[in-house]
A and B are shown apart, each in its own frame.
Chain A
Amino acid sequence: MPLGPYATFIAASYLVVLVVVVLLIAWIAIDYRSQRRRLNELETEGVTRRSGRQTTEL
């Protein structure tokens, strides 16, 4: 797959998309773990939601 004289521009385009998509996925995964950890901590301390249900069950 020869990319010709503008290979740098083509490769840079795909690379920047890859980096941003990976960063988005990582940000969402880290945020999810952070929220679950804080919910676990609160439930361990005996704090319950008004409904009485445990969010960590979901």
Chain B
Amino acid sequence: MTLIDLANPTRFLAFTARLLPWLVAATAILLAVGLYQSAMAPDDYQQGATVKIMFIHVPNAWLSMFVWGVMSLAALGTLVWRHPLADVAAKAAAPLGAAFTFLALVTGSLWGRPMWGTYWEWDARLTSVLILFLMYLGLIALWRSVEDPSRAARAAAVLTLVGAINLPIIKFSVDWWNTLHQPASVMRMGGSTLDRAFLIPLLVMAVAFSLLFLTLHLAAMRNEILRRRVRAMQMIHVAQAGQRAG
């Protein structure tokens, strides 16, 4: 089966039905390994045991931006190729992105209180991530407010591409402005500044959360395809009932 074959919703449903059990198993195993390594990681010499929050905060923060990136690619698929699976992918990803962004904000707050002395500060990094969260909620509201999925898809695609401007602002906010948030310490020029004792559990957790997103995204896409089939069949049902009455 080639990649283009998956662009057919029926083939996509059949393929993901076979793939999902393997993805669930891989996600569960990797999460278990990552959680074990996180629990066994040593305390940081400055932050003590609160460094363990990093192992869940950072993967969620990465995913909050990555999911918007996935939605931006899907938005291009909707606007340029008008492919139905592209807007299915975008719509299914939005609630997941909102959840990961929410978790990045909450775990960041819970890490900030003992380390910075405050749950929240209106600095560039925290504020730009909060804006990302509000944009996710706006997109979900847009999808729900327009009944015709294809019309909603085009409006959401434009909003998604405009919102993508926020991604480099989030990424470089810690370099462009003075913020409480620490600068990049993993994805940076010159390599990671993290010790291997922290870096390895962090990367395992990042891969585990990415697999979790992939699994949930494929499952949510299947649901969205089924929802559109229900809608189409209901319209046929109403039309048939109208013909019989007429």
Inter-chain contacts of A27 with B (CB < 8 A):
95
Task: Give the CA-CA distance A1 to B53 in the complex, in Å.
Answer: 14
Of the stretches B134-142, B152-160, B174-182, B214-222, the one at the interface is B214-222
In the assembled complex, which residues on chain A have CB atoms less than 8 Å from the CB atom of B226?
A: 32, 35-36, 39, 55
Cα distance A5–B14 in the bound complex, in angstroms = 51
Of the stretches B66-74, B79-87, B109-117, B185-193, the one at the interface is B109-117
The reply to whether B222 and A32 contact each other, CB–CB distance below 8 Å, is yes
- Taking a contact as CB atoms under 8 Å apart, the answer to whether B233 and A47 are in contact is yes
- Chain B residues whose CB sits within 8 angstroms of the CB of A13 once the complex forms: 53, 56-57, 106-107, 110-111
Q: When A9-B113, A10-B52, A58-B13 are in contact, do A31 and B223 touch as well, CB less than 8 Å?
A: yes
Indicate which residue in A4, A17, A28 contacts B223 across the interface (CB closer than 8 Å).
Answer: A28
- What string of 1s and 0s marks CB contacts (under 8 Å) between B220-246 and chain A? 101100110110111011001000000
Secondary structure dominating the interface of A: helix
Asked if residues A17 and B113 are in contact (CB atoms below 8 Å), the reply is no
- Write the A4-15 contact mask toward B (1 if CB under 8 angstroms, else 0): 111101101110
B7: interface (CB < 8 Å): no
CB distance from B60 to the nearest CB of A (A): 7
State the CA gap A38–B114 with chains docked (Å). 49
CA distance A48 to B239 in the complex (A): 12
Q: Chain A contacts of B48 at CB under 8 A?
A: 4-6
On whether the beta carbons of A32 and B99 are closer than 8 Å, the reply is no
Residue of A with least CB distance to B11 = A58
Whether A12 contacts B236 by the Cβ 8 Å rule is no
Q: Are the C-beta atoms of B106 and A16 separated by less than 8 Å?
A: yes
Q: Which residues of A contact B107 (CB under 8 A)?
A: 13, 16-17
Complex: A39 Cα to B230 Cα, angstroms: 6
User: Do B233 and A17 touch across chains, with their CB atoms under 8 A apart?
Assistant: no
B39 touches A (CB below 8 Å): yes
Chain B residue numbers with a CB within 8 Å of A5 are 48, 114
* Interface: B118 (CB within 8 A): no
Chain A residues near B204 (CB-CB < 8 A): none
A47 and B236 within 8 A (CB): yes
Is B113 a contact partner of A49 (Cβ separation < 8 A)?
no
Given known contacts A13-B56, A58-B10, A35 and B227 CB-to-CB distance under 8 angstroms: yes
In the assembled complex, 12 residue pairs joining A and B whose CB atoms fall closer than 8 Å, in A order, are A6-B114, A7-B49, A10-B110, A13-B53, A13-B106, A13-B110, A24-B95, A28-B219, A39-B230, A42-B230, A50-B236, A58-B13
Which 4 pairs from chain A and chain B are nearest by CB? A35-B226, A6-B114, A4-B49, A3-B49
